[in-house]
Homo-oligomer: A and B are copies of this chain.
Amino acid sequence: MADWQQIAGGVTAPKGYRAAGIAAGLKPSGAPDLALILSEVDAIAAGVFTTSHVRAACVDYCRQRLQAKHTARAILCNAGQANAATGAQGWADAVESAELVARELGIAPELVLVASTGVIGQRIKMDELRAGVPRLVAAASADGSDAAAQAIITTDLVTKSIALETTLDHRPVRIGGICKGSGMIHPNMATLLAFVTCDAAVAPHLWQQMVSRAADKSFNQITVDGDTSTNDSLIALANGESRTPAITEPGPEADKLEAALTEVCMHLAKSIARDGEGATCLLEVRVSGTADDAAARQIARTIAGSALFKSAVFGRDPNWGRIAAAAGRAGVPFEQENLMVRLGEFLLMENGQPLPFDRAAASNYMKQAAAGEYLKSDTVLVSVSVGNGPGTGMAWGCDLSYDYVKINAEYTT
Taking Cβ atoms with an 8 Å cutoff, the residues of A that contact B are 50-55, 85-87, 119-121, 184, 187-188, 190, 225-230, 305-308, 311-312, 314-315, 317-322, 324-330, 332-337, 339, 349, 351-354, 359, 363, 400-402, 404-406, 408-413
Contact = CB atoms under 8 A, between A and B. Distances in A.
B321 A121 contact: yes
Given A187-B322, A321-B413, A412-B315, A227 B329 contact: yes
A229 B50 CA distance: 30
Contacts of A354: 85, 120-121
A334 B409 contact: no
Contacts of A325: 52, 54, 120, 184, 188, 190, 227-230
Given A121-B321, A325-B190, A352-B85, A409 B52 contact: no
A306 to B, nearest CB: 6
Given A312-B408, A324-B120, A307 B188 contact: no
29 contacts: A53-B328, A53-B332, A53-B335, A54-B327, A54-B329, A55-B336, A87-B337, A87-B353, A120-B321, A187-B317, A187-B322, A188-B322, A190-B325, A225-B307, A226-B307, A227-B306, A227-B325, A228-B325, A228-B329, A229-B325, A230-B328, A308-B408, A311-B405, A312-B408, A314-B409, A315-B410, A317-B413, A401-B409, A402-B402
B188 A317 contact: no
A228 to B, nearest CB: 4
A352 B87 contact: yes
Contacts of A330: 53
A392 to B, nearest CB: 18
B409 A326 contact: no
A83 B252 CA distance: 51
The 9 A-B pairs with the shortest beta carbon distances in the complex, nearest first, are A54-B328, A311-B408, A315-B409, A52-B328, A188-B321, A228-B329, A121-B354, A120-B321, A225-B307
Contacts of A405: 311, 314, 400-402, 404-405
The residue among A51, A312, A359 with the most chain B CB atoms within 10 A of its own CB is A312
Given A85-B354, A311-B409, 12 more contacts: A53-B327, A53-B330, A54-B329, A54-B339, A87-B351, A87-B353, A121-B353, A226-B226, A230-B325, A312-B409, A400-B408, A402-B402
